[in-house]
Amino acid sequence: MAAVSATESALENQRIGGLQLRVAALCTLVQICDGYDLNAVAWAVPSLIRDWHLPPSAFTIAFLWSSIGIMTGALVAGPIGDRFGRRPLLLVSLTIFGIASLLSTFAGSLGILAVLRFFTGLGIGGGFSGAAALAGDYAPHRLRATMIMATFTGAPAGGFIGGQTVALLLPHFGWPIIFVLGGVFPLVLVLALALWLPESPRFLAASQTLSPRQAALLRRLDIVPTPGEAVDVARGNPIAMLFGQGYALQTVLLWIIYFCSLLNLFLFAYWMPTVLNMIGMTPAQAVFASSLRDGGAIFVALYLGLAIDRIGPERTLALHYALGAVFIAAIALVALPYLMLCVVSALAGMTIIGSQTGLNGTCGKLYPARMRTSGLGWALGIGRLGGIAAPVLGGYLLSLGLAPTRIFLSACLFALIAALATALLAFRGSPVELPAIEEATS
């Protein structure tokens, strides 16, 4: 039998200390930026409808190009992050969507806004997968889903905190303030990452040349690189690996779950502020109620990651998605008073966005390091097809003349499909998780 290398043993069993917490905190800040900018255009639309004198369905194009950008960024980022490193991927991604968000404040037409939202999405897609993969590289296997999920709570935190902030500032500064905040924070964060974010220890261990600072970092992890020692980094085509070595069924099921889950997430993220505005709320009220959806998702980190690590994703996430269908139906079918709508919005976020956060942790745990960014990136990228379908579906249903909240009823079906596909992960088999080194006698 082949033995696991000493480096891999150290990485898979590393202790949680200051280094790991620093990486997790910085990756969480990246996710906060992503969560804010993901919602930014939806928060701006109720005001833009009034200022640009356009119907709500016209903004489908801005939502659509934002999702296309996120999908493109996620698909491209996966192989780049696995082959060339997580750190440069994050620095470039943050710079792209920070600049694009700032330029959005000068958009004078829907077409220009759509183009800028594509580039914002491009950066978001790279930031999501890169931050999750790096957090996973600095987490022991036993807590990997929990650590990745903890960083991903930054996305709903960004949506919640950002939404509350925008609701306060919007009446005074107008819609451009949304994109100013969305651009300044990531550009400042680029400087912080350049100073304090280390590269993946696997990339450092596999490197032929290390700086004194990088060598010291590996020593903190009890790693002394040995020439010829196997380290779990991509050496072939990471995309082909997703369908080899027993990962094919897992990959297909995860793509189905991501498609359904992100369709639901984006349907609410893009259309909920507009729908609430259409049923009589002011833009500020609509943003506030919608942001509570992200607020509810933050609390999922208190239990869902640990449940996935200890019980497994099959039962945990399947139940979560099924509960999401119930809260979606309540929003779609019942004329709720404002306070009750806020409560149900938070519960819907706990199950809709919370399930997606748990799914990200699951994906990062199920794929080994050599294909972790590609596994996450391509799952997020394929899932973004659901994100692309969401604005089109919402705009089409609104154009049919349905009661505005009824457009969310379609999300119940996709939540149930996600629940079923998650349960079927139980049949994925047991692919090899870690690389092996040759026996000493070979």
Q: Residue 435: which H helix or E strand, with range?
A: none
Q: Is residue 356 part of a domain?
A: yes
pLDDT at 439: 35
Secondary structure letter of residue 434 according to DSSP: S
Least confident among 81-85, 114-118, 397-401: 81-85
Mean pLDDT, rounded, for 247-264: 92
Q: How far apart are CA 199 and CA 191, in angstroms?
A: 15
Can you tell me whether residue 3 is helix, strand or coil? Answer: strand
Q: What is the pTM of this model?
A: 0.74
Tell me the DSSP string of 161-189: HHHHHHHHHHHHH-THHHHHHHHHHHHHH
Q: Which tokens is 220 given? A: 């903190």
User: How would residue 308 be classed by pLDDT, with cut points 50, 70 and 90?
Assistant: confident
Q: Is residue 1 part of a domain?
A: no
Q: Is the pLDDT of residue 248 over 80?
A: yes
Q: Is residue 210 part of a domain?
A: yes
Q: Which tokens is 283 given? A: 């833009």
Q: Is residue 346 part of a domain?
A: yes
Q: Is the pLDDT of residue 184 over 50?
A: yes
Tell me the DSSP string of 314-374: HHHHHHHHHHHHHHHHHHHH----HHHHHHHHHHHHHHHHHHHHHHHHHHHHHS-GGGHHH
Mean pLDDT, rounded, for 346-353: 90
Residue predicted with more confidence, 237 or 4 = 237
Q: How far apart are CA 32 and CA 154, in angstroms?
A: 4
Mean pLDDT of the chain, nearest integer:
85
Q: How far apart are CA 412 and CA 414, in angstroms?
A: 6
Q: Is residue 418 part of a domain?
A: yes
Q: Is residue 155 part of a domain?
A: yes
Q: Is residue 441 part of a domain?
A: no
Look up the domain containing 354 and give its range: 6-427
Q: Is the pLDDT of residue 287 over 90?
A: no
Indicate which CATH number applies to the domain containing 16.
1.20.1250.20
Q: Is residue 141 part of a domain?
A: yes
How many folded domains does the chain comprise?
1
